[in-house]
Structure 1
Amino acid sequence: MSKIALIYMGGTFGCVGEPLSPMPEHEFLPRLHRYLPDHLSIECFAAPVIKDSSAYTAVDWLKLAQFIQQLQSQSFQHFVVIHGTDTLSYASAVLARILAASCHLIITGSQFPLLTVDGTTIREETDARDNLWFALEHIFKVDAGVYLAFHHQLFHGRTALKAHTTELDAFRGVASTQAIAQHSQAMTVTETMLERAQNLNILNWMMQPIALEQLEKNLAHVLENAPDFLVLQGFGTGNLVTNPEIIEIFQQLKQKNCLPVLNTQVTAGGIDQRYAVSAWVKEANIAVSDCLGHADLYAKLLALYLQYDQANDWLKHWHE
């Protein structure tokens, strides 16, 4: 049987002590090895970057993807990644976008640490080993691609979303048994990409029911220091009421190399532009999300940013 590369990225899974803090990877990995299934051939690796998952950014996930691509050149094709839950869905979406179907990868984490407070043995009550073993047991069963495993469920990596802060059944998404559109071609991570990703700037706004005049003022402030992407999470199917002044600001943002993107703050169902309130979108000439969730949109923006320099090009290649 092929060997599995098990990559540790930190998170609650590897924490010990009171209050919880990460055990250094050179101490944790030998302990982790004691609790791996004997019937599988597994080699453990420390990820290039290990820290609290809320501190991870695109650069860290690109470094992980680059490390996986290096392991692929050493004949590894099956990967399981242990990651913190805070940004687990973002990590899975980025890996799905970058690695596509070039390998078999399942990412997982846990709500409770694997080890006891003193780090000497496994906890009596923990979801860490169950989640890891579930991922390991399924890595040879899934089609090529990226998946997220949690609480005996397996989701397509593009679709996963953390839906509960503390419960064991914490994630939702499209089950791996259902068909979704997959990215067909992997992106080889380069040092140039890593350098460019350092400067990626995304501003995400969940719209609130405020007067148009106040929205206009808020957008005018953004115009003064425009990000690369301004994501507008509208109501329902993406509904957002505008006026000519707001549409003019959207056009000015593009002139400042900022691409406005219309999304929805609803977690399932996607964008629907049938309603008259959305007729302004064509006039404003902004992007409309066609992604499978918030994390998938983040991964798409990152990929566009790495491939093209200009907002007009991001919009031009939006549906590719």
Structure 2
Amino acid sequence: MPASSTSLKQKPSVLTPIQLIYAGGTFGSYGRPLAPLDADVFLPALQQLLSEHNKTDNLPAISWLDNTLIKDSSQLTPNDFVHFYTLLLEAYAQGLRQFVLITGTDTLSYLGAFLAEAFAGSDICVVVTGSMRPLLDSEILQTYAIDANSDAWDNLSALYA
């Protein structure tokens, strides 16, 4: 990703939380057959899990950047890449500098390379992450819980280690 003077490993101030962008993909999929959860379902579940873990892990402040493009990453098109570029550019213009884009692994390297080139030389920090298995366990139906066999939680929480 682009070089940045601000690392996600540094504790951002309360005024500059990390902006999480949920874009679907395997990371946010749930059910049988797997399908990306809508943001209004996934983000509150993720917020609850982050809050529970923040009590012991002391994670930095996170807020959500509104994104209307939620789909499986195998369906991402070049126009979708431009959508994320525009979303990041608009947030950057508002003074935001730290982002985590959660997407799928099918196009992760392409999207990452596109964004790295698009923001080369800037002070923006964009981390693109995904997972091979969904964050949430589809076998637990009463509440959303982390799938112990998933790499998703480790991929997200490693950003703060």
How many angstroms apart in 2 are the aligned matches of 1:46 and 1:53? 18
Which residues in structure 2 correspond to 1:70-219 (within 5 Å)? 70-102=90-122, 103-117=124-138, 118=141, 120-135=144-159, 137=160
Deviations 1:1-47 (A, max 9, x none): 23100101111111111121121111111001122253311002343
How many angstroms apart in 2 are the aligned matches of 1:46 and 1:83? 14
Tell me which residue corresponds to 1:26. 40
Amino acid at match of 1:16: Y
Pick one of 68, 71, 77 that aligns with 1:51. Answer: 71
TM-score normalised to structure 1 length: 0.41
How many angstroms apart in 2 are the aligned matches of 1:92 and 1:65? 11
The runs of 5 or more residues in structure 2 that have no matched partner are: 1-12
Question: What is the count of residue pairs matched by the alignment?
Answer: 137
1:3 maps to 2:17: yes
How many angstroms apart in 1 are the aligned matches of 2:22 and 2:121? 21
Residue 77 of structure 1 deviates from its aligned partner by: 0.5
Higher deviation after alignment, 112-121 or 12-21: 112-121
Residue 129 of structure 1 deviates from its aligned partner by: 0.7
Residue 69 of structure 1 deviates from its aligned partner by: 1.1
How many angstroms apart in 2 are the aligned matches of 1:74 and 1:63? 17
Bigger relative contact order (CA 8 A; separation at least 6): 2
Residue 73 of structure 1 deviates from its aligned partner by: 2.0
Amino acid at match of 1:29: L
Following TM superposition, where does structure 1 have runs of at least 4 consecutive aligned residues deviating by more than 4 angstroms? Answer: none
SS of residue in 2 equivalent to 1:47: coil
SS of residue in 1 equivalent to 2:145: coil
Amino acid at match of 2:88: I
Residue 63 of structure 1 deviates from its aligned partner by: 1.0
Tell me which residue corresponds to 2:28. 14
Amino acid at match of 1:59: N
Deviations 1:168-206 (A, max 9, x none): xxxxxxxxxxxxxxxxxxxxxxxxxxxxxxxxxxxxxxx
Identity in percent: 39
- Contact 1:9–1:46 at 8 Å: present in 2 too? no
How many angstroms apart in 1 are the aligned matches of 2:104 and 2:67? 13
1:41 maps to 2:41: no
Residue 109 of structure 1 deviates from its aligned partner by: 0.3
Which residues in structure 2 correspond to 1:271-286 (within 5 Å)? none
How many angstroms apart in 2 are the aligned matches of 1:46 and 1:86? 22
Tell me which residue corresponds to 1:64. 84
- Contact 1:4–1:42 at 8 Å: present in 2 too? yes
- Contact 1:35–1:129 at 8 Å: present in 2 too? no
SS of residue in 2 equivalent to 1:105: strand
